[in-house]
């Protein structure tokens, strides 16, 4: 039973355009959400997070939107750059211990 779902295994975007990566969750107890980025042969690196008390968080070219009623969050990258090509994981947490539940990831390809 997947509690965090990333339904698009891959996404291809032209350089300079917007990339939108989507994530859905099922557990109402989740109150903290994160996006991680992973390059081949490296561990995931933290990108951006959002608490359930907010509906938007912005950091440079990266913005995460949270729609609690729909149990949906999205990551917007504007403008997309070839160096953004990586696998993006959505993760959620609902406990005080900080345990993360990850989605399966979306592979983003940004074409020059």
Partner 1 sequence: EAGVAQSPRYKIIEKRQSVAFWCNPISGHATLYWYQQILGQGPKLLIQFQNNGVVDDSQLPKDRFSAERLKGVDSTLKIQPAKLEDSAVYLCASSVSSGRYEQYFGPGTRLTVT
Give the integer Cα–Cα distance in Å for 28 and 92.
11
* CB-nearer residue toward partner 1: 22 or 79: 22
- Applying CB under 8 A, the span of 14-22, 37-45, 53-61, 70-78 interacting with partner 1 comes to 37-45
Q: Which of 45, 55, 59, 111 binds partner 1 (CB under 8 A)?
A: 45
Tell me 68's DSSP state: T
Q: Which of 41, 60, 83, 112 binds partner 1 (CB under 8 A)?
A: 41
Give the integer Cα–Cα distance in Å for 88 and 20.
11
Are 79 and 29 spatial neighbours (Cβ–Cβ below 8 Å)? no
**34: nearest Cα among 80, 100, 109:** 100
Q: Which of 43, 60, 83, 112 binds partner 1 (CB under 8 A)?
A: 43
Q: Which of 42, 69, 70, 83 binds partner 1 (CB under 8 A)?
A: 42
| Partners of 5 in the β-ladder | 24
Binding-site ranges for partner 1 (CB under 8 A) = 4, 6, 32, 36, 41-46, 49, 51, 89, 91, 93, 96-100, 102-105
């Amino acid at each position: 039973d997947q509690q965090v779902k990333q339904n698009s295994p891959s996404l291809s975007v032209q350089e300079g355009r917007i990339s939108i990566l989507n994530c859905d969750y099922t557990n109402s107890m989740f109150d903290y959400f994160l996006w991680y980025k992973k390059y081949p042969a490296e561990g995931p690196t933290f990108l951006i997070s959002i608490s359930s008390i907010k509906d938007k968080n912005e950091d440079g070219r990266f913005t995460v939107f949270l729609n609690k009623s729909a149990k949906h969050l999205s990551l917007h990258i504007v403008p997309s750059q070839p160096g953004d090509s990586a696998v993006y994981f959505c993760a959620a947490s609902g406990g005080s211990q900080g345990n993360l539940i990850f989605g399966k990831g979306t592979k983003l390809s940004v074409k020059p």
